[in-house]
Amino acid sequence: MQEFIRQAATVILIRDFNDKLEIYMTQRPESMIFLPGYHVFPGGAMEPEDKNPDLHRLCVNHRLEVDLSYAVTAIRECFEEVGYLLAELPTVRENTVSDAPLRLQNLRKQMATGEFSFHQWIVEKQIRLRTDKMRYFGHRITPRAMSLRRFDTRYFLTAIPPSVELEPSPDEVAKAAWLEPSVVLEMLQKGIIRMVPPTRDAIACLANYRSTDEALAKAQGVGTPRPHELA
């Protein structure tokens, strides 16, 4: 198998629940070629259309210190995988992100079947992408020792209301749950779950905080690529 590296983005969804911070973890289906069965955050490879300047102009008050293409990738992948759209919709009162689930199942199905694209829909409807709700959380690369299918990934952090019910796609998510970071780390230590080092590092970082406000304001993130990731 020939090695290749793709640009990618992932978004860490966090919420306040019962006076504790929780993170949303998904498990990849065992049928996946890359990291089958691993626990990850919603995310995936960048598509050429994610670089479209027309999309970037629809990003709200961005201050992400990173190419907006990565933010668009993260928003698109989050919507495709778990049904949460970080955007302003014309039907949403006062043009804010709804506290209720954005149940756009028909739209997701049409995108999945290729009837039309996420990018086409966003531009045609002039939907504002809420990049102002995202915090850049670091940059890591899949180590060669782990896989020849490698990803140059930017991480983002965003908080969502506890009332939101996510709807994972069965094609991309085997299991999903809201968990406290300390619980995830304990499961990892006991060998109950598997994850790549950047995912573990993000969770270890977030385990230091008890609220989304604290995490968004103070968490250091996953940092930059380690020497072995650049080798």
**Strand runs (DSSP E) across the chain, as ranges?**
4-17, 20-27, 39-40, 43-45, 87-88, 128-129, 135-141, 149-159, 175-179
Domains in the chain, ordered, with CATH? Answer: 4-230 (3.90.79.10)
User: What is d(CA 51, CA 216) in angstroms, rounded to the nearest whole number?
Assistant: 26
Q: How far is CA 115 from the centre of its chain?
A: 24
pLDDT tens per residue across span 111-167: 878 787 899 989 998 999 999 999 999 999 988 888 778 999 999 999 999 999 899
Concatenating the DSSP letter of every residue in 158-170 gives EE--TT------T
State residue 212's pLDDT score.
Answer: 97
Distance CA 53, CA 174 (A): 34
pTM of the model: 0.90
Read off the pLDDT band of 4 (50, 70, 90): confident
> What is the predicted pLDDT for the residue at 113?
80
Query: Between these two residues, 95 and 147, which has the higher pLDDT value?
Result: 147
> Strand pairing partners for 128?
88
With contact defined as beta carbons under 8 Å apart, do 21 and 210 qualify?
yes
Q: What is the pLDDT of residues 170-225, one digit of tens each?
A: 989 999 999 999 999 999 999 999 999 999 999 999 999 999 999 999 999 999 99
Percent of the chain residues topping a pLDDT of 70? 93
User: Does residue 85 come out as left (phi exceeding 0), alpha (psi in the -120 to 50 range) or beta?
Assistant: beta
For residues 10 and 42, the answer to whether their CB atoms sit within 8 Å is: yes
Confidence (pLDDT) at 35: 86
